Chains A and B, each alone.
Chain A
């Protein structure tokens, strides 16, 4: 079945540091891939997505590229801010489109000034 594996946290970075959160997936065909962010006390918000191989999703300075050859969708940001402190979830939606999202276990990011 479909699955998502993302790096375990917590991740602690200083402000302006470079961020990478690794995400790899297992699925047949070409699933849609997503990164969601959850700020403290809130629900999940879509951060970015990519629906086909080599697509790059980007939003708020975050980027992730859909790599079919490595089955990866790593999240990156060149310079993190304290306001980026949150939990980040990588997710996958199967090719049929008729299946619920499969989430990774989440990675907690703390950015310190």
Chain B
């Protein structure tokens, strides 16, 4: 059972609002990821981090930003939300040592921008 938590699970916000999606894991994993999942199910990597103070952009360009000040915490922020940001956002973490490089996912945050 993976210990990775996302909040909020569901959120509806207005255009132009700032929103931060929280992600925390209690497994001490160095690597964390944010994926965006479109309605057609496909997953797109938007950000990842290999440790504290390390952040990288993923394959899909995103207007969001991330930070990694503590190992267990990897929040994603949208400074000015738009309807095109409506999607499900999945946070994940992994530790390559002794786990076969398995990635564990949170339950996701469903964001709707109106």
Residues of A within 8 A of B (CB): 32, 34, 36, 38, 42-46, 49, 51, 87, 89, 91, 93, 97-98, 100-101, 103, 105-106, 108
Contacts and interface: CB of A to CB of B under 8 A. Distances in A.
> How many B residues are at the interface, by size bracket?
20 to 34
Q: Shortest 7 CB-CB distances between A and B: which pairs?
A: A106-B41, A43-B105, A44-B105, A43-B107, A43-B108, A93-B101, A103-B43
A91 B33 CA distance: 15
A43 B100 CA distance: 20
A44 B106 CA distance: 7
A87 B40 CA distance: 11
Interface of B: 6, 33, 40-43, 45, 48, 50, 58, 90, 92, 96, 100-108
B58 A100 contact: yes
A103 B48 CA distance: 15
A111 B43 CA distance: 23
Please classify the interface of chain A as helix (H, G, I), strand (E, B), loop, or mixed, using the class held by over half of its residues. Answer: strand
Contacts, number: 51
A50 to B, nearest CB: 9
A89 B41 CA distance: 9
Given A34-B102, A34-B103, A44-B92, 8 more contacts: A43-B108, A44-B105, A46-B103, A46-B104, A87-B41, A101-B103, A103-B43, A106-B41
Quick one: which of B43, B50, B102, B106 has the most chain A CB within 10 A?
Answer: B43
